[in-house]
Amino acid sequence: MIPSSTALLTIDLQNDFLHPEGAYGRAGQGADSILALPDRIAPLKQALIRAGGTYISAQFTLVPGRNGEPLIAEHLKKLRPFLTKGDFAPGSFGHALTDTLAPADFTIEKVAYSAFYQTRLEYVLRKMQIDTLIIGGIVTNGGVASTVRDAHLRDIHTILLSDGCAAFNDDIHDATLKSLGSVTETMTCSAATALLGGAP
């Protein structure tokens, strides 16, 4: 791993997912494994930045329509009926990266699972000459898995943080890690931090 050509990419670690006053918190949706992620990933972020690497935050976005109602996919509307006007809106408290990990060097607004789909992520990676992504965030079987697979299709080396991502169900998390083993390297947050010269 060469720090200057490596980026930490976190998926959806935002207030609307994690903060008690965010959209999911207000709806009573959450999991301890998800809430633990920012504190676990923060030392890795700090070690990578000190070593000359880059931190990119990909953040789920509900684009507001003319009347402020979010442009939301039908499957998501059925899955999360509590999402409403103002949730995950660009510039809002809920849309923002959690304070524990802020600030990011680059913020990528994403409208679907993958951080590559219709975003500027690949442009940023090419301009910054980044060829390795360390990936964590939520959920393992959704945005994380889709991003890892899309990186693989683009010949971008990935390191998936086994304890730096989580799902609402631990069995699904474990099964997804196993299924992704053929397309990504897997490592714990502490092991990745130690590789960068940080405290293990």
Q: Does residue 163 sit in helix, strand or coil? A: strand
- CA nearest neighbour of 53 among 120, 104, 110, 107: 104
Tens of pLDDT, residue by residue, the chain (200 residues): 889 999 999 999 999 999 999 999 999 988 899 999 999 999 999 999 999 999 999 999 999 999 998 999 888 888 899 999 999 999 999 999 999 999 999 999 999 999 999 999 999 999 999 999 999 999 999 999 999 999 999 999 999 999 999 999 999 999 999 999 999 999 999 999 999 886 55
Cβ atoms of 97 and 13 closer than 8 Å? yes
Residue 159, strand partner residues: 134, 185
pTM (two decimals):
0.96
Looking at residue 152, its pLDDT comes to 98
Residue recorded with tokens 């998800």: 34
Whose tokens are 């959209």? That residue is 23
- How many Å from the N-terminal Cα to the C-terminal Cα in the chain? 16
Give tens-digit pLDDT for 133-154: 999 999 999 999 999 999 999 9
Contact between residue 11 and residue 144 where contact means Cβ atoms under 8 Å apart: yes
